[in-house]
C-alpha cells in the first residue's frame, strides 16, 4: 500500500455502525459541557480526569466507557501504521488547546490545508509536521485521536467527510469473553470469568456494546467470588494495573474463599464470639480443682463423699480444660483474629502446595 492510495475508513461495513457514530456524537456533546460553569461541574462528576475549560481526552473517554480497553491494549495494539482517510463521524477528538470558535476563517482554512499537506509528506511509519496520528478500534468502529485531536471539531463544523491521518489499528476482546453486571449504581465488567474491573461509564456505550454482542446482566453469579470480597479488593488496592486501569484477579479471591471455608481443629475459645472468663474466675476454678483433688485423697474412708468429690473433680476438669482443647471443627472465617491468621496461613500454604504438586504431576 503506497502513499498515493490511502485507505478509506468508514462505518459502512459495520452492522452496528450507527451505534458507533452515536457514541462519537455523544462524546462531542459532552465536550460542550465545559462551555458553561454548570456543565463543567457535571463533566467533573462523570469524568474525574476532566479539566475545566477543556474537553475529555479521547483515551480517557474510551477507558471510561469501554470495559478492558486500556487493560488489554498491550495484547491488541498494532505497531504498524498506515495512511488513511478517516470518516470524521468516527473520530473521537478533544479541543484542549483550541476550538473552531478560537479561529477566524483564514486560520481555519490554514489548519485544514496544513493537515492535508503534511499528510502528503508523511509515510506510514512516521507522521510529519501537523499530520494526525489516530488509533482505530477496529472491532467497534471508532477512532481515537492521538495527535491531531483539536482539528476534529473543525472538520466536523466544516462538514468535511474525512480526516487524513496515520492510523494504527487497535483490537478489542471478543464479545463472548466479556460480561457486564449492572448492580445498583455500580457496573462491573468481567473478562474470561477471571478478571474484573469497574466501568462506571459503560451505560454511555451500552447500545454499541450490546450490538457488538456483550451481555448486560443485573445479577452477580454464584460461581464468582462474593461481590463484597470484590469491592473490598478494589478498596484495599489489591489490584493489577496494566496501563494504569485497576483490575482485580479472581484467582486470589477464590483462594481466599477456599481458605476461609476450610474446617480446622480448634478449641471453643478460638471461635469468634466466645468470651474468655476473667482470669480471677479461671484461677479460682484451678484452686478449687486442686482442693477437690486433695480432699478426694483424704475421703477414702467415706465412700459416698469420695464419689461426690470425684464426680465434682471430673465436672470441674471438663469446665476448665475442655474449652482450651482442639476438639471442635470450625471454618477459618469464624475464628478470632489470632487463630484466624494462624490457620489462614497454614491452610493457604497447604492448598498452594497441593496445587503446585498437581501442576508438576
Cβ pair 65, 205 in contact under 8 A: yes
- Does the pLDDT value for residue 332 go beyond 80? yes
* Spatial separation of the C-alpha atoms in residues 228 and 257, rounded to whole Å: 12
| pTM listed for this prediction | 0.77
Q: Which residues pair with 217 in a beta bridge?
A: 181
* Spatial separation of the C-alpha atoms in residues 20 and 5, rounded to whole Å: 26
pLDDT tens profile 191-232: 999 999 998 889 999 999 999 999 999 999 999 999 999 999
Question: What is the radius of gyration, based on Cα positions, of the chain?
Answer: 34
How is residue 165 annotated by DSSP?
E
**Mean per-residue pLDDT of the chain:** 83
pLDDT tens profile 243-297: 678 899 999 999 999 999 999 988 877 888 776 666 566 565 566 656 655 565 5
Domain boundaries, the chain: 7-170, 175-249, 265-340
Q: How confident is the model at residue 1 (pLDDT cuts 50, 70, 90)?
A: very low
Percent of the chain with pLDDT over 90: 42
In terms of Cα–Cα distance, which of 264, 263, 188, 187 is closest to 224? 188
Ranges assigned E (strand) in 257-333: 263-266, 328-331
Instruction: Write the CA distances from 346 to 37, 252, 271, 341, integer angstroms.
Output: 57, 16, 17, 9
* Burial environment of residue 195 by CB neighbours within 10 A (0 to 12, 13 to 18, 19 or more): buried
pLDDT tens profile 13-22: 777 889 999 9
Amino acid at each position: 500500500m503506497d502513499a498515493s492510495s490511502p485507505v478509506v475508513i468508514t462505518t459502512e461495513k459495520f452492522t452496528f455502525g450507527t451505534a458507533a457514530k452515536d457514541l462519537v456524537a455523544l462524546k462531542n456533546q459532552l465536550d460542550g459541557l465545559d462551555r458553561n460553569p454548570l456543565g463543567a461541574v457535571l463533566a467533573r462528576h462523570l469524568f474525574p480526569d476532566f479539566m475545566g475549560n477543556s474537553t475529555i481526552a479521547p483515551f480517557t473517554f474510551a477507558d471510561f466507557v469501554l470495559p478492558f480497553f486500556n487493560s488489554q491494549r498491550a495484547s491488541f495494539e498494532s505497531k504498524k501504521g498506515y495512511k488513511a482517510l478517516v470518516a470524521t463521524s468516527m473520530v473521537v477528538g478533544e479541543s484542549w488547546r483550541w476550538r473552531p470558535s478560537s479561529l477566524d476563517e483564514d486560520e481555519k482554512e490554514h489548519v485544514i490545508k496544513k493537515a492535508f499537506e503534511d499528510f502528503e509528506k508523511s509515510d506510514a511509519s512516521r507522521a510529519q509536521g501537523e499530520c494526525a496520528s489516530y488509533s482505530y478500534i477496529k472491532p467497534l468502529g471508532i477512532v481515537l485521536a492521538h495527535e491531531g485531536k483539536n482539528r476534529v471539531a473543525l472538520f466536523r463544523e466544516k462538514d468535511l467527510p474525512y480526516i487524513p491521518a496515520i492510523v494504527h489499528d487497535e483490537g478489542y476482546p471478543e464479545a463472548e469473553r466479556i460480561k457486564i453486571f449492572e448492580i445498583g449504581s455500580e457496573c462491573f465488567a468481567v473478562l474470561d470469568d477471571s478478571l474484573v474491573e469497574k466501568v462506571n461509564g459503560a451505560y454511555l456505550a451500552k447500545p454499541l456494546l450490546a450490538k457488538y454482542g456483550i451481555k448486560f446482566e443485573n445479577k452477580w453469579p454464584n460461581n464468582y467470588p462474593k461481590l463484597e470480597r470484590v469491592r473490598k479488593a478494589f478498596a484495599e488496592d489489591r489490584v493489577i494495573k496494566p496501563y494504569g486501569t485497576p483490575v482485580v484477579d479472581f484467582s486470589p479471591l477464590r483462594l481466599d474463599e477456599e481458605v476461609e471455608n476450610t474446617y480446622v481443629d480448634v478449641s471453643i475459645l478460638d471461635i469468634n464470639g466466645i468470651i474468655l472468663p476473667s482470669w480471677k474466675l479461671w484461677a479460682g476454678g484451678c484452686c478449687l480443682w486442686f482442693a477437690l483433688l486433695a480432699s478426694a485423697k483424704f475421703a477414702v474412708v467415706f465412700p459416698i463423699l469420695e464419689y461426690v468429690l470425684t464426680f465434682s473433680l471430673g465436672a470441674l476438669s471438663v469446665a476448665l480444660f475442655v474449652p482450651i482443647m482442639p476438639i471442635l471443627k470450625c471454618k477459618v472465617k469464624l475464628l478470632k483474629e489470632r487463630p484466624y491468621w494462624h490457620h489462614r496461613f497454614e491452610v493457604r500454604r497447604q492448598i498452594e502446595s497441593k496445587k503446585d504438586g498437581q501442576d508438576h504431576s
